[in-house]
Amino acid sequence: MMKRKASAIIFYDAKGNILIQDRKKISKWGEEYGFFGGKIELNESPEEAIKREIKEELGIEIKEFTIFKHHFYSIKKSDLDVEVFCFISKMPDLKILNVQEGELAFMKYKESLNLKFLDGDKFLLNEFGKFLNENTTF
């Protein structure tokens, strides 16, 4: 089985909105939605990877983000084990984003629960819902 390390980020605001990636046109494994981020390169930390990926995918530099979950999952049909470092960050100014990969999907967290994610991303999304319930009121 192949192994991959990745960094991902969930952007959110105090109103219960999240920013995720519409991946329908760029899907690799059948997912329609996912988080912004990607593969951690050789000799790169998870934090360096998320900064690089967000610069590449959204054209912005992020400075304030927090590790949220460190999670392992498998994409069985691709024979791939994934170790993902998931970060969270406050919502960036949507007007300054220059999307280079996929499309923006801005929505209420609860609306995202019925979307087609990879199982590992769905787990992270559900965990994020618990975080929102504990830390924010809408």
CA 123 – CA 10 distance, rounded (Å): 13
pLDDT for the residue 90: 95
Read off the tokens for 134: 């504990």
Give tens-digit pLDDT for 13-40.
989 899 999 999 988 888 899 999 999 9
pLDDT for the residue 13: 93
Domain boundaries, the chain: 2-135
Angle in degrees, CA 37, 40, 46, rounded to 5: 80
Helix (H) or strand (E) holding 122: helix 119-135
pLDDT for the residue 136: 62
pLDDT for the residue 42: 93
CA 73 – CA 21 distance, rounded (Å): 19
Q: Hey, CA dihedral for 7, 32, 109, 80, is it positive or negative?
A: negative
117 and 27 Cβ atoms separated by less than 8 Å: no
Give tens-digit pLDDT for 43-87.
999 999 999 999 999 999 999 999 999 999 888 777 888 899 999
Does domain 2-135 sit in CATH 3.90.1150.10? no
Question: What backbone phi and psi angles, to 5 degrees, belong to 12?
Answer: -150, 165
pLDDT for the residue 138: 43
Give tens-digit pLDDT for 84-132.
999 999 999 999 999 998 999 999 999 999 999 988 999 999 999 999 8
The DSSP string of 71-83 is EEEEEGGGTEEEE
